[in-house]
Amino acid sequence: MTIIEHIIGGQNTPGASGETQNVYNPATGEAIHQVVLGAEAEINAAVRAAKDAFPAWSGTSPAKRAAIMFALRGVMTRRADEIARTISAEHGKTHDDALGEVARALEVVEYACGIPDKLKGDFSREVGPGIDTCAERQALGVVAGITPFNFPAMVPLWMIPMALACGNTFVLKPSERDPSSANLIYDLFREAGLPDGVLNVVHGGKQAVDAVIAHPNIQAISFVGSTPIAHYIYSNGCAAGKRVQALGGAKNHMIILPDADIDQAADALMGAGFGSAGERCMAISVAVPVGEETANRLVEKLTPMVRALKIGPSTDTDAEMGPVITKEAKDRIENLISAGEGEGAEVLVDGRGYNLQGYEGGFWVGGTLLDRVTEDMTVYKQEIFGPVLSVLRADSYDTAVELINKHQYGNGTAIFTRDGDAARDFAKRIQVGMVGINVPIPVPVGYHSFGGWKQSIFGAHGIYGPEAIHFYTRLKTVTSRWPTGIRSGAEFTFPSMG
């Protein structure tokens, strides 16, 4: 069985803990690798390597850092199929879905290629007699990323290219559930010419996370995961004096107005609700049709589509959905479906107990459709993170908007309508960070920034795009005056440039 090790200072290392954890193929339930688990000692070693590499890397010109990003883009494009297979083997998502993950990661790499222009400063001449002021953005130092299982390549690549392009060095703590993608990312960067120590990978669980939070030489932490852990990292990271962006959970709604194209809306809900087995923070998990007639038409259209979902392993090129990540995830999802049923939801399509012939040991949950869900139900209040779509019927557009606005999460949302006035009003009024109009999963392209509102994010900055420049750099202003032969004497009042 392959042992997945840490990568510190350019070298694979088993670390000092001696602890390992099995990594499973979710389609079969079989252990396929073991990953070593690091803690304080491994984080300390990775930070030392990153700190040692920082002076030379931050002193490298932005153009040369951009050249490595250009090279990385070429490496990723050439090896995209390999990256996708690595993702699917440990996560379980279909190969096409994994290729889509690679494509979205490439957008951020491409944005990082333009870093010389984005790091240009400001300059003002003669702000006072013989006085000039310039403003520039400088790298923070050693920064860290803590990333989730559901996008084991994309989310690290939402962080690392921007952090490195800005001149920082990086310590990555990926999910221990599907760790091979992180080591492959390191190989991609190394092939692109990245020097040793600039990027380091430490595998582990909570002990490694706590070591990242506590380390005095880590200047900033970027996190994507569940809301409770996001809040924990944000609170403790800020208390330790670090800059933190922590992206948490979601409960994404899609409103369907009576004038919407029901066929288009149903297709959108299928992809957004069941793609990647619903294990996306931008998945649509709640459909909100407005009016009983709209709801009945939508449910009539969706029910046979959910029943017909083609479920299979990533090696099945016809599969539309794979397994969930672990047995624990499977059990949790099925328990939430049962809770919804017990609280009065109608189970129109039941994915509990799904069994795939030849893959009986896999972590399978079938597509599930619940109707007449209400906002007091557990299945509505909690993030399910599985292939479960709830239909919550609203009697009016205003009721639907209020429903979304008062929910604790505010990550993504969508509306399907032909009414431009309603769409414009929705985009203005809705209290959610990412909004789609006839677009079910409004993940911004790489040159915009990703981030929700409310309990879906902690910290002032979204991830990637222009927000990443501000997160991974700090502003410095320099005001200078050179002797002109004129002395005005000592000044004891607050300085004025007039």
The residues that are catalytic are 281
**Which tokens in the block code for residue 324?**
């969930």
What is the spatial distance between Cα 189 and Cα 195, in angstroms, rounded to a whole number?
9
Residues in a beta bridge with 454: 409
Distance between CA atoms of residues 198 and 201, nearest Å: 10
CB neighbour list of residue 221: distance below 8 Å, 6 or more residues apart: 143, 144, 145, 146, 212, 213, 233, 237, 242, 243, 244, 245, 246
Taking the CA atoms of 412, 298, 310 and 352 in sequence, report the sign of the dihedral they define. positive
Q: Which residues contact 345 (CB under 8 A, 6 or more apart)?
A: 370, 371, 372, 373, 374, 377, 379, 390
What is the phi-psi region of residue 345: left when phi exceeds 0, alpha when psi lies from -120 to 50, beta otherwise? Answer: beta
Give the integer Cα–Cα distance in Å for 25 and 10: 28
Helix (H, G, I), strand (E, B) or coil at 441: coil
* Pair of tokens at residue 458: 């902690």
Give the sign of the dihedral formed by CA 71, CA 74, CA 78, CA 82: positive
Helix axes 465-472, 154-165, angle to 10 degrees: 50
Q: Which of 305, 231, 313 is nearest to 268 (CA)?
A: 305
H helix or E strand, kind and range, residue 330: helix 327-342
SS3 label, residue 195: coil
Cα separation, 232 vs 228, in Å, equals 6
